[in-house]
């Protein structure tokens, strides 16, 4: 006899792994983020560097996708992509975006909002040259976000650019880095009975961060 199907509405999880309080958290959100990111890496959670990127088009329709963080410092959060993609076009029209990390196994979420700008050509070149050869060819082969007839288009493009550039493909002019400069961070730690811990950091005019607890 088949088992009854569990309703999605009945799925439950009790969050009890850790806590987040004002006394134990960092005053600087970047340091708090670094601590949590390093803990996610040490815990070997799947793809701890994966983050959701949300952008908004000129028609005010939002869209999200997963990208990989490639760097972070006091200037902001950095990733690399195709400038001609949907996200690239949307960022060109509206440079504000949001990022989210979800480390399920640690019952943690980090949300980051701010303005986005392109990194320098030199920074994009430096990172591009560290990528595996197949990835560098792929940056030329994929007309990201455009309609294509089938996978054969990508395979043919990869063969064409592989033959053209051999082992030294240059960085495509339509490919490079973005940096989000945060003005708002939120750190969420799951807690029992849905009374989660949620701290928000808001950038003040003088450059300091205002740390506040939000109701979950």
Which residues are known to be catalytic?
A: 194
CA distances for 195 relative to 11, 89, 101, 139, angstroms? 18, 39, 20, 45
| Contact in structure between 110 and 31 (CB atoms under 8 Å) | no
* Torsion-angle region of 95 (φ positive above 0: left; ψ -120 to 50: alpha; else: beta): alpha
* Cβ contact 7:184 at 8 Å: no
**Nearest-angstrom CA–CA distance, 54 and 215:** 23
How many beta carbons lie within 10 A of that of residue 19, not counting itself? 13
* Tokens standing for residue 51: 């983050």
CA distance 182 to 96: 10
Residue pair 176/183 in contact (Cβ under 8 Å)? The answer is no
Helices (H), the chain: 29-42, 86-93, 121-128, 133-141, 151-165
């Amino acid at each position: 006899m088949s088992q009854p199907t569990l309703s999605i509405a009945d799925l439950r999880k009790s969050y009890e792994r850790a806590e987040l309080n004002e006394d134990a958290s960092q005053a600087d959100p970047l340091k708090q983020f670094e601590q949590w990111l390093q803990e996610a890496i040490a815990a070997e959670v799947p793809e701890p560097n994966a983050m959701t990127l949300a952008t908004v088009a000129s028609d005010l329709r939002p869209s999200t996708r997963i990208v990989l963080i490639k760097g972070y410092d006091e200037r902001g959060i950095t990733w690399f992509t195709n400038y001609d993609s949907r996200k690239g076009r949307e960022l060109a029209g509206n440079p504000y975006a949001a990022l989210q990390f979800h480390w399920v196994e640690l019952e943690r979420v980090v949300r980051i909002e701010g303005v986005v700008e392109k990194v320098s050509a030199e920074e994009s070149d430096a990172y591009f040259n560290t990528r595996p050869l197949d990835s560098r060819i792929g940056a030329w082969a994929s007309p990201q976000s455009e309609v294509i007839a089938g996978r054969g288009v990508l395979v043919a493009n990869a063969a064409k650019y592989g033959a053209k550039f051999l082992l030294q493909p240059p960085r495509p002019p339509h490919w490079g880095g973005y940096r989000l400069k945060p003005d708002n961070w939120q750190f969420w730690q799951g807690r029992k009975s849905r009374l989660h811990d949620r701290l928000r950091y808001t950038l003040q005019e003088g450059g300091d961060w205002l740390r506040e607890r939000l109701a979950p």
